[in-house]
Amino acid sequence: MEKNDDKLNSPGYEIPSELQGQVAVTTLDRLYNWGRRSSVWPMMFGLACCAIEMIAAQAARYDMARFGMEVMRPSPRQSDLLLVSGTVTKKMLPIVVRLYNQMPEPKYVVAMGACASGGGPFKEGYNVVAGIDKFLPVDVYIPGCPPTPQALIHGMIKLQEKIDRQSIKKVRWYQEGADQVAIPEPILGPDLIDPRKLPQIKQVAKKG
Amino acid sequence: MTIPVSTETLDLAAKFPGIVTPDEREGYSGWIVKADELAAFAASLRDDLGYDFLSSVTGVDYLPEKKLEVVYHVYKTTGGPGLVFKVQLPRKKPEVPSLTPVYPGADFQEREAWDLLGIKFTGHPDLRRILMWEGFEGHPLRKDWKEPFYEEDIKPYSSRWPEGKHSYAEDRNPFNDNVQFPKQFDPEKWVPEGDAALYGALAEYRTTDEDGLDTDHIVVNMGPQHPSTHGVFRAVITLDGEDIVSMKPVMGYLHRNHEKIGERNTYLHNMPYTDRLDYFCSMTNNHGYALAVEKLTGIEVPERTEYIRVIMDELTRIQNHFILIGMLLNDLGAYFTPALYAFEERELILDIFEAVAGSRMMCNYFRFGGVARDVTPEILEKVSALAFDRLPRKADEFDRLLTENEILVSRCKGVGRLSSEDAIKYSMSGPSLRASGVPYDIRKADPYSIYDRFDFDVAVRYNGDTYDRYLIRLDEIRQSLRILQQAIRQIPEGPIQTGKSTYLTKTPAGESYGRIEAPKGELGYYLVSNGTGNPWRYHVRAPSFINITALESMVVGGKIADFVIVFGGIDVVLGEMDR
């Protein structure tokens, strides 16, 4: 699963053959990532149909615990992963964004299923957000309606691979000012108001 | 199957002269009632004629005739066919007296009709929006209201023909997103209405202790992100200490515009959408919808298909009830162990669904006058291994593990009591109604498909508390197994589809109401056709939505800790509640 030839994950130091039984040398990045990838705690938060497959993936037959992801936390303050499992509606979106803002770094977002990825079969609906990536930075998209538990686990493994490739030096949450970054919460007006688009809304509405 | 929609040889026009006239439009049935006399008419219907169960309230926007129509379906809990009556209103000022004093079960349904169609129910105690938020512009199910990603009135859209060019919906919208704002709208000056109306609807509550010290209430918001609300449900609860004084449910967080999309779709298009209503029970959702369209078109269903449908329905019911029991225990604090047992059985049933339909959860299996694929002998063998051996054993295992469990008994007995009168009054249906001592099961009371051929009992319990709502699920699993065993023994060979299966089903103009006993209660589909390939009106009478009407009366006076159990015992799915 891990790419050992990757510069990030190899120390670039040869251990003499007589010491190989006693000493192991690794990089800080690899050790750090190994800890994080093996204990991704998803938020216990189901939106729609996909949430049921998420539960099924946690249950005995598929048993996501094998990958260290079975600890579902009901509080955003304790979770590492926001699994957007289902259709995000306009009415729900401010809450989803708030939950994301409340999660501590490092945090990841997985868009599970067609709806979370791009609106899915309900995209044309007046109360449906056409993909959570319009608001949150998505790390992994999982296709399917709903994705089977196997597909979900595959997506989670992809997330682990992504974690493997991150370097402490470059990650978002160790950059200056990272803790002040919050996604502006959408407002429920006559329709959903995205605070980042206020000038555009004003301008287009003026023209009518 | 060409029975007209629920009429009886009953001359209401003679009984209520000047108030009621028969609905004589082609393909329609029932009665048209004058708006002013509606409340008196309904009271007489309930008290003199015995139609005590209000099944469905919805509206239809007849834009060409400039009319809005409110459609009511009522039934007798003693069984038999129902009655449909309508009130016609001018489109400009649609006002109709609320039926909540006669049928309190109309509460949420009238709020929905107000929210989505803008029909004003005078005298309604709390007429707020229910699925959309306060401040939302317009009433979306009006035929002249167009959504931001509007393309054409009906599908198939010309742009989606194979030769056509594809473009993104976002690019066609001036705001480049799924939004639209009224002319001259200034977002910076907008003050969100927030939840003021919601909190205002809660019962005012204040106590004064012996020293004359005023004690204020505490308002607790549970959800929409809460581990025990089974999805994105939100309950606003006023507390006195730990006792619940007032409770208002808030829904719509998963309102996916099922009906608006459904009215643009062709008839067959809607089949996969019904899967996503109650996403635990896609097979039964398919069945109700197929039934409604078959009533409209008069397509006969072959013998073998009827058996396949019954087998799939009962398998669905069994897995739904297993999951409910598992999740109820989860809410009780047993955490995931019983649910893991339940999911084990569910996976085996889903294997069968995957084998017949190609998908585990979203089966999209039923067709009008048939099913999508035949059931092979190997699959039937698997079903019979489950029905005759494994599932009866597992039902007994659940019974043995849980029924006398001290914690389950002490936390569920006497909690969330609902009397049979109240259950009927609030239009409760399904297992929760039967747990309150009303033996009303549509499979017996108004049989559809071939349920009249099977030998089974209507499960009924009499205490109406959460413990009985748990027990009745076990009873129903056992009764479903009985039906399943008979169906497997009797299933004949033969075709599975009447005629050729087509993509475009044309229906004659008219209306139809197809209802089935879904695992969660009465699932009804109300269709109005104008003779084209797309439904003019497509309404889902969702049991999860209407069963919640009684929730307030069940939890008030109880403890906050019991709220999740009462809620879990009713068995709701948000996809169906919010549609």
For B192-211, the three-class secondary structure string (H helix, E strand, C coil) is CCCCHHHHHHCCCCCEECCC
- Per-residue pLDDT, averaged over A38-55, amounts to 88
| Nearest by CB: B279 against A49, A129, A130 | A49
| Residue A1 belongs to some domain of the structure | no
Q: How far is CA B306 from CA A43, A109, A190, B313, B507, in A?
A: 43, 45, 47, 10, 22
* In chain B, domain spans: 12-122, 258-493+515-578
- Output the CA angle A104-A110-A114, nearest 5 degrees: 145
Q: Which two tokens stand for residue B324?
A: 């409910």
Distance CA B318, CA B409 (A): 22
pLDDT > 70 in chain A, percent? 95
The three-state secondary structure class of B48 is coil
Q: Which two tokens stand for residue B346?
A: 């569910």
Query: Is A190 exposed, middle or buried (CB count within 10 Å of its CB: 0-12, 13-18, 19+)?
Result: middle
Contact A192, A96 (CB under 8 A): no
The three-state secondary structure class of B522 is strand
Closest to A76 (Cα-Cα) out of A46, A44, A119: A44
* In the predicted structure, residue B9 carries a pLDDT above the cut 70: no
Q: Which two tokens stand for residue B54?
A: 């209000």
pLDDT level of residue B382 (50, 70, 90 thresholds)? very high
Q: Is B326 on the interface with A (CB under 8 A)?
A: no
Q: Give the pLDDT of residue B523.
A: 92
Instruction: Report chain B's terminal Cα–Cα distance, integer Å.
Output: 28
Higher pLDDT, B206 or B59: B59
Q: Domain range for residue A133?
A: 7-207
pLDDT level of residue B7 (50, 70, 90 thresholds)? very low
| Residue A138 belongs to some domain of the structure | yes
How many Cα atoms sit within 13 Å of B117 on the Cβ side? Answer: 31
- Per-residue pLDDT, averaged over B61-75, amounts to 91
Sign of CA dihedral A98, A103, A109, A114: negative
The predicted-structure confidence for A151-187, as pLDDT tens digits, reads as follows 999 999 999 999 988 888 888 888 887 777 788 899 8
Query: Which of A103, A152, A191 should be substituted to probe chain B, the one whose Cβ sees the most B Cβ atoms within 10 Å?
Result: A191
Q: Do A89 and B252 touch (CB under 8 A)?
A: yes
- Give me the phi and psi of B424, to 5 degrees please: -70, -45
Q: Do A124 and B147 touch (CB under 8 A)?
A: yes
| Nearest by CB: B280 against A52, A74, A126 | A52
Q: Is A135 on the interface with B (CB under 8 A)?
A: no
Q: Which two tokens stand for residue B521?
A: 């209660």
Q: Do A124 and B273 touch (CB under 8 A)?
A: no
Q: Give the pLDDT of residue B1.
A: 38
Contact B55, B524 (CB under 8 A): yes
Distance CA A133, CA A130 (A): 8
pLDDT > 70 in chain B, percent? 97
Radius of gyration (C-alpha) of chain B in whole angstroms: 24
Query: Is A31 exposed, middle or buried (CB count within 10 Å of its CB: 0-12, 13-18, 19+)?
Result: exposed
pLDDT level of residue B474 (50, 70, 90 thresholds)? very high
The single-letter code of the amino acid at B152 is: E
Q: Which two tokens stand for residue B557?
A: 């006076």
Helix H or strand E encompassing B356: helix B337-357
Mean predicted lDDT score pLDDT of chain B: 88
| Residue A172 belongs to some domain of the structure | yes
The predicted-structure confidence for B200-246, as pLDDT tens digits, reads as follows 787 777 777 778 777 778 888 887 888 777 778 899 998 888 889 88
Q: Do A48 and B170 touch (CB under 8 A)?
A: no
3-state secondary structure B275-314: HCCCCCCHHHHHHHHHHHHHHHHCCCCCHHHHHHHHHHHH
Contact B262, B247 (CB under 8 A): no
pLDDT level of residue A15 (50, 70, 90 thresholds)? confident
Contact B266, B156 (CB under 8 A): yes
How many Cα atoms sit within 13 Å of B571 on the Cβ side? Answer: 31
Residue B36 has what DSSP assignment? G
Distance CA B400, CA B404 (A): 7
* In the predicted structure, residue A2 carries a pLDDT above the cut 60: no
* In the predicted structure, residue A5 carries a pLDDT above the cut 70: no
Residue with tokens 């469905």: B56
Instruction: Report chain A's terminal Cα–Cα distance, integer Å.
Output: 54
Contact B537, B263 (CB under 8 A): yes
Closest to A141 (Cα-Cα) out of A177, A173, A117, A176: A117
Q: Do B178 and A121 touch (CB under 8 A)?
A: no
Beta strand B20-22 with B95-97: parallel, antiparallel or unpaired? unpaired
Distance CA A11, CA A29 (A): 10
Interface of A with B in 137-196 (CB under 8 A): 145-146, 148, 187-194
The fold of B12-122 is: Beta Polymerase; domain 2 (3.30.460)
The predicted-structure confidence for B156-209, as pLDDT tens digits, reads as follows 877 666 666 777 888 888 888 888 888 888 888 888 877 878 887 877 777 777
Distance CA B198, CA B248 (A): 8
Q: How far is CA B102 from CA A194, B49, B53, B58, B129, in A?
A: 44, 14, 10, 16, 22
Distance CA B122, CA B101 (A): 11
Distance CA A50, CA B362 (A): 11
Q: How far apart are the CA of A7 and the nearest CA of chain B, in angstroms?
A: 41
Is the ipTM above a cut-off of 0.95? Answer: no
- Coarse DSSP helix, strand, coil percentages of chain A, rounded to the nearest 5 percent: 45, 10, 45
Distance CA B85, CA B35 (A): 11
The single-letter code of the amino acid at B551 is: L
Q: Is A101 on the interface with B (CB under 8 A)?
A: no
Contact B86, B30 (CB under 8 A): yes
Distance CA B538, CA B533 (A): 13
Q: Give the pLDDT of residue A4.
A: 46
The predicted-structure confidence for B261-281, as pLDDT tens digits, reads as follows 999 999 998 999 999 998 899
| Nearest by CB: A49 against B149, B170, B276 | B276
Q: Give the pLDDT of residue B164.
A: 66
What lies within 8 Å, CB to CB, of B24 at 6+ separation is: none
Distance CA B81, CA B55 (A): 12
Chain centroid, CA B158 distance in Å? 33
Contact B505, B266 (CB under 8 A): yes
Q: Do B276 and A123 touch (CB under 8 A)?
A: no
- Output the CA angle A188-A190-A195, nearest 5 degrees: 50
Helices (H), A136-195: 149-164
Q: Give the pLDDT of residue B173.
A: 85
* In the predicted structure, residue A128 carries a pLDDT above the cut 70: yes
Size of interface A-B (CB pairs under 8 A): 180
- Per-residue pLDDT, averaged over B391-395, amounts to 92
Query: Which of B128, B157, B178 should be substituted to probe chain A, the one whose Cβ sees the most A Cβ atoms within 10 Å?
Result: B178
Distance CA A12, CA A77 (A): 37
Distance CA B477, CA B31 (A): 39
Q: Is B141 on the interface with A (CB under 8 A)?
A: no
Q: Do A145 and B346 touch (CB under 8 A)?
A: no
The three-state secondary structure class of B34 is coil
CATH number of B258-493+515-578: 1.10.645.10
Q: Give the pLDDT of residue A10.
A: 72
- Give me the phi and psi of B186, to 5 degrees please: -115, 105
Contact A206, B184 (CB under 8 A): yes
Query: Which of B250, B255, B275 should be substituted to probe chain A, the one whose Cβ sees the most A Cβ atoms within 10 Å?
Result: B255
pLDDT level of residue B462 (50, 70, 90 thresholds)? very high
Distance CA B323, CA B339 (A): 6
| Residue A2 belongs to some domain of the structure | no
What lies within 8 Å, CB to CB, of B456 at 6+ separation is: B443, B479, B482, B483
Q: Do B225 and A188 touch (CB under 8 A)?
A: no
* Total domains in the fold of chain A: 1
Q: Which two tokens stand for residue A128?
A: 């449906």
* In the predicted structure, residue A1 carries a pLDDT above the cut 60: no
Query: Which of A84, A115, A126, A204 should be substituted to probe chain B, the one whose Cβ sees the most B Cβ atoms within 10 Å?
Result: A126
Contact A90, A190 (CB under 8 A): no
- Coarse DSSP helix, strand, coil percentages of chain B, rounded to the nearest 5 percent: 40, 15, 45
The CATH number given to whatever domain includes residue A24 is 3.40.50.12280
